């Protein structure tokens, strides 16, 4: 930061004034109203009582489609991780408790019990294996990478971002279920971040690095990307190069099939037994967008090379310089129309954000804001579920909970190459020695938190409409530090956790700790 003119003994106080004024000469990251609203909504959802899935239930039955609870919970965690890494790096207190609560929910039986049935097969892609498969209660022991990798990567992201060993403890990732009415003794499957990651790794090795199946016999490209992110976080925590090894093996394995189909879209999956590849035959937007957004972590040049042509087939110009997403027709399997939340709009918006395609991102968000009912609840911003695909004028209006609760907020909070940066430009140990906002009461909104030239800068606002004590706690701050809040030097009170500050009522105030 460039200090304001003034005598040396007044530089600190004048800097506080300049942070709040238009005279500031540096570019700072300050979250806008919508971004803060998405963070608040995720925090609100994380605080719902156990098995209260209000606003999160999609159209499909059984938690086995693409809008299931596990995807909503994990992509909230990913969105929070990206916002912490790229937007508010000096505010672990904003993100850590919410991520922990979301991981707690991710481990609940309501999220993973679908596997007891899906593991037996019987679908069109694995019916021929029915006599070889049995009901499996452990949701991560075989296949099911569409759940196991999300638990693995979420736990490792938490421990990497916060320099914590919370999920290294034995049984810290436990899958438990017992019912008074049925099921016999308690089912209890014990893992931790490393044992689960190791288990997924050896599944990949045994399958020639092609990947791990989602449901039996179906190895999706998309669902193996989170595991690679998890391996990278494990390497950053423990050392080693497991992610590099897996990526190299994955590249060799998929070279036999090609990542893209003949039309230039991402192949959807490979059948494990026959090694037959399933293309994106219906040109479903979610396949390209979801795969492209995640694969950008380690394969950026390839993803960016194909993005413009793929995107052009998926978006449609709309009124007022906006864009909407065209969807493939509903799938019909065994004479039944498949009911599923594909979340095409959400995934294309996320993809545009990761690609740094600001104009497409702007146009897509403008369309959703115009036609998809952005709503505020307890200070949080979301787009409520709406099952009608179009309105009377033909405008696309369908909204799934994954898109409305999570993906649009993820896209707003992401930065260009957000996942790529998380993967390739990791924090060093020095990040966890810098002063930071380590605890935040629920009624406090943090729109800026970063360290510039050794000085902690923040922006805080108290929202009296929410419960809370109106304080933040600063950690890793020396006792002699000078603290300014709203242009006034304050002292706060010291506790075992750090320096506690009371945030005044009224508009947002700037925090400077030097």
End-to-end CA distance of the chain: 12
Q: Quote the CA–CA distance of 79 and 471 in Å, as a whole number.
A: 25
Q: What is the pLDDT of residue 173?
A: 98
Q: What is the pLDDT of residue 3?
A: 36
pLDDT tens-place string over residues 211-227: 999 999 999 999 999 99
Our CA dihedral for 350, 356, 358, 359, rounded to 10 degrees, sits at -90
Q: Judging by beta carbons within 10 Å of its beta carbon (0-12, 13-18, 19+), is residue 274 exposed, middle or buried?
A: exposed
pLDDT tens-place string over residues 329-387: 888 887 888 888 999 999 999 999 999 999 999 999 999 999 999 999 999 999 999 99
In contact, 199 and 139? CB cutoff 8 Å: no
Domain borders along the chain are: 1-30+441-513, 32-68+284-424, 112-281
Q: Quote the CA–CA distance of 73 and 407 in Å, as a whole number.
A: 11
Q: What is the DSSP string of 304-319?
A: HHHHHHHHHTTEEEET
Which residue(s) pair with 341 in the sheet? none
Q: What is the pLDDT of residue 314?
A: 97
In contact, 457 and 508? CB cutoff 8 Å: no
Q: Quote the CA–CA distance of 255 and 239 in Å, as a whole number.
A: 28
Torsion sign across C-alpha atoms 412, 418, 422, 428: negative
Does the structure show a pLDDT above 70 at 16? Answer: no
Q: What is the DSSP string of 124-159?
A: TTTGGGGGG------TTSSS-HHHHHHHHHHHHHHH
Residue 486: strand, helix, or coil? coil
Q: Where are the alpha helices (DSSP H) in 376-439?
A: 401, 408-413, 418-424
Give the pLDDT band (50/70/90) at residue 28: low
In contact, 368 and 374? CB cutoff 8 Å: yes
* Cβ burial 332-362 (10 Å sphere, 16+ → b, else e): eeeeeeeebbbbbbbbbbbbbbbbebeebbe
- CA 202 to each of CA 252, 269, 327, 331, 370: distance values in angstroms, whole numbers, following the listed order: 17, 20, 37, 34, 48
Give the pLDDT band (50/70/90) at residue 2: very low
**Mean pLDDT calculated for residue range 394-399:** 94
């Amino acid at each position: 930061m460039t200090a304001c003119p003034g005598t040396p003994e007044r530089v600190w106080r004048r800097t506080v004034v300049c942070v709040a004024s238009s005279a500031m000469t540096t570019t700072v990251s300050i979250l806008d109203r919508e971004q803060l609203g998405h963070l608040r909504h995720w925090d609100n959802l994380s605080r719902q009582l156990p098995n209260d899935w209000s606003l999160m239930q999609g159209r499909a039955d059984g938690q086995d489609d693409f809008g299931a609870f596990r995807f909503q919970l994990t992509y909230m965690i990913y969105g929070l991780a990206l916002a912490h890494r790229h937007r508010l790096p000096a505010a672990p207190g904003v993100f850590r408790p919410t991520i922990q609560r979301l991981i707690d929910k991710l481990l609940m039986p309501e999220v993973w019990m679908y596997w007891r049935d899906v593991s037996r097969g019987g679908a069109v892609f694995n019916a021929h294996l029915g006599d070889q498969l049995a009901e499996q209660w452990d949701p991560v022991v075989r296949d099911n990478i569409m759940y196991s990798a999300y638990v693995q990567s979420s736990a490792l992201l938490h421990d990497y971002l916060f320099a914590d060993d919370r999920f290294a403890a034995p049984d810290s990732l436990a899958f438990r279920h017992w019912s008074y009415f049925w099921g016999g003794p308690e089912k209890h499957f014990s893992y931790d971040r490393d044992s689960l990651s190791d288990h997924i790794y050896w599944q990949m090795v045994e399958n020639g690095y092609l990947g791990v199946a989602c449901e039996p016999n179906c190895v999706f490209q998309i669902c193996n990307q989170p595991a690679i992110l998890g391996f990278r976080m494990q390497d950053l925590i423990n050392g080693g190069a497991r992610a590099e090894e897996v990526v190299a093996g994955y590249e060799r394995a998929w070279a036999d099939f090609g990542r893209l189909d003949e039309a230039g879209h991402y192949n959807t999956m490979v059948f494990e037994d026959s090694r037959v590849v399933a293309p994106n035959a219906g040109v479903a937007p979610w396949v390209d967008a979801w795969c492209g957004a995640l694969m950008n972590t380690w394969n950026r040049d390839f993803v960016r090379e194909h993005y413009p042509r793929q995107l052009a087939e998926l978006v449609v110009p709309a009124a007022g310089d906006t864009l909407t997403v065209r969807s493939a027709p509903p799938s019909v399997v065994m004479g039944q129309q498949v009911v599923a939340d594909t979340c095409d709009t959400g995934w294309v918006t996320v993809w545009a954000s990761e690609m740094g395609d600001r104009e497409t991102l702007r146009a897509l968000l403008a369309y959703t804001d115009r036609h998809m009912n952005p709503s505020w609840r307890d200070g949080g911003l979301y787009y409520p579920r709406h099952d009608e695909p179009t309105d009377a004028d033909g405008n696309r209006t369908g909204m799934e909970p994954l898109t409305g609760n999570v993906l649009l907020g993820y896209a707003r909070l992401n930065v260009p190459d957000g996942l790529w940066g998380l993967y390739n430009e990791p924090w060093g140990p020095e990040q966890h020695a810098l002063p930071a906002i380590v605890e935040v009461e629920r009624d406090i909104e943090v729109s800026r938190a970063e360290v510039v030239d050794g000085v902690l800068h923040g922006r805080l606002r108290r929202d009296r409409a929410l419960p809370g004590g109106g304080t933040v706690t600063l950690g890793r701050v020396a006792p002699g530090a000078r603290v300014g809040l709203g242009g006034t030097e304050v002292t706060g009170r010291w506790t075992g956790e750090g320096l506690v500050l009371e945030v005044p009522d009224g508009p947002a105030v700037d925090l400077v700790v030097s």
